[in-house]
Amino acid sequence: MWKKLFAWLDERLGLNDLYKATLDRPEPKGTWWNTLGSASLFLFIMQGVTGIFLAAYYTPSPDHAYDSIQYIMTGVAFGWLIRGIHHWGATLMVLVVFIHMIRVFVTASYKYPRELTWLIGVGLLVLTLGMGFTGYLLPMDQKAYWATTVGTSIAGSVPFIGPFILKALRGGTDISALTLNRFFAAHIWMLPAALAALIGTHLYLIIRHGESAYPDKDD
Residues that bind other proteins (CB under 8 A): 53, 56-57, 64, 67-68, 70-71, 75-79, 81-82, 85
Shortest CB 74 distance to other proteins, Å = 10
Shortest CB 144 distance to other proteins, Å = 17
Shortest CB 32 distance to other proteins, Å = 16
Shortest CB 197 distance to other proteins, Å = 26
Shortest CB 52 distance to other proteins, Å = 10
Cβ proximity of 22 and 208 under 8 Å: no
CA 73 to mean position of chain CA atoms: 23
Q: How far is CA 130 from CA 126, 190, 193, 204, in A?
A: 6, 10, 13, 23
Please say which residue, 65 or 97, places its beta carbon nearer to other proteins.
Answer: 65
Please say which residue, 85 or 169, places its beta carbon nearer to other proteins.
Answer: 85
Cβ proximity of 148 and 183 under 8 Å: yes
Shortest CB 34 distance to other proteins, Å = 18
Please say which residue, 92 or 168, places its beta carbon nearer to other proteins.
Answer: 92
Please say which residue, 65 or 96, places its beta carbon nearer to other proteins.
Answer: 65
Please say which residue, 89 or 135, places its beta carbon nearer to other proteins.
Answer: 89
Cβ proximity of 210 and 26 under 8 Å: yes
Please say which residue, 62 or 171, places its beta carbon nearer to other proteins.
Answer: 62
